[in-house]
Amino acid sequence: MIFTIIILFSFTCWLSSLILLRKKQAGYLHHMTWFLGLTTMAELSGYLVYFQFHQKNNYWVFNAFLPVEVFFLSWLFYKILSPYCNCKPWILAGLTVFFTIYLYESFQSSFLGLSMNAKNFSSVFIIVICLSYYYFLLKSEEYIRLKTHAPFWIVTGCFFFYFGSVTCDIFFDHLLSINKVTIKPVRYVIFIVLNFILYSSWSYSFLCKYRQTTSSY
């Protein structure tokens, strides 16, 4: 099998971004195209390293991609939150802490392991940003039709993904050892569901943005 289900989700979302997010009209969302391309490549690389090249450790692939993921999502949330507040200092502070933890852990494991503490911190950081977005949305006096509001669906997808993955990340080592012994890929199944929620929300947000830009003509 060339693709796993998660790679398929990622690729489909990337494809939808290529079709629906054209440069000028999509604004800052256009940059999600290259990010999703990189994500798909990272997922594919991880799969190929583990299954095709029979290397037992493909963590370094995801570890290398982790800063890209966190940096891009921080920039994306900065763009989404800037109409509501000046979040730049908070996001920069969060990124600084993340990179500090990430570099420390990566050097400890010689960049071969997965920086779990950095990953956990980034998950909490992104969850807090998502909750801040909901807070500003509730506080705002302006009415926004959320069903067709692209930023809302982007944030919601991220929120469900990172909020749902917290437990798996905390019990990462336990689940890994359980899978080795009993072949119960619990983490994999949970992440299939979470990735489905994430990529389908994002694809829907691209559709909303596309409809918004085409209906304005």
Partner 1 sequence: MQIQADNIIILVVSITLIFLIAGLFLVIYVNVYNEKKGSYLEEKKILKQQFERAFLQSQLEIKEQTLQHIAYELHDNLGQVASLIKINLCTLQLNDPAKAGQKIEDTKELVRQLIMDLKTLSVSLNSDRVAQLGIVNGLENEVERLNKTGQFTATLKQGGSIPMLDANTTIILFRMAQEILNNIVKHSGAKRIDITLQASENLFTLVCRDDGVGFDREEKIGNGGSGLLNLQNRAKLIHAHLTIRSSHENGTTVSIELPI
- Contacting positions for partner 1 (CB under 8 A): 134, 137-138, 141, 143-147, 156, 159-160, 163-168, 171, 174-175, 178, 181-182, 184, 186-187, 190
Picking from 133, 171, 168, the residue whose alpha carbon sits closest to that of residue 154 is 133
> Which CB atom, from 14 or from 191, has the smaller least distance to partner 1?
191
The span from the CA of 114 to the CA of 105, in Å, is 8
Least distance from partner 1 to the Cβ atom of residue 204, Å: 13
Shortest reach from residue 34's CB to partner 1, in Å: 28
- Distance set, CA 206 to CA 13, 136, 153, 161, 202 (Å): 9, 22, 9, 18, 6
CB of 66 or CB of 175, closer to partner 1: 175
What is the spatial distance between Cα 111 and Cα 21, in angstroms, rounded to a whole number? 35
In the complex with partner 1, the residue whose CB is nearer, 88 or 184, is 184
The least distance separating partner 1 from the CB of residue 134, rounded to whole angstroms, comes to 5
Beta carbon of residue 179, minimum distance to partner 1 (angstroms, whole number): 10
Handedness of CA 43, 44, 49, 51 (dihedral sign): positive
CB of 80 to partner 1, least distance (A): 14
* Placement of tokens 């507040």 in the chain: 85
Our CB check for partner 1 shows the closer of 53 and 173 to be 173
Other CB atoms within 10 Å distance of the CB of residue 7:
20
Q: Which is nearer to partner 1, 1 or 138 (CB)?
A: 138
Q: Which amino acid is at 137?
A: L
SS3 122: helix
Contact (Cβ atoms closer than 8 angstroms) between residue 197 and residue 205: no
For residue 197, the minimal CB distance to partner 1 (Å) is 8
Q: Is 21 or 114 the residue whose CB approaches partner 1 more closely?
A: 114
Nearest to 113 by CA among 60, 168, 69: 60
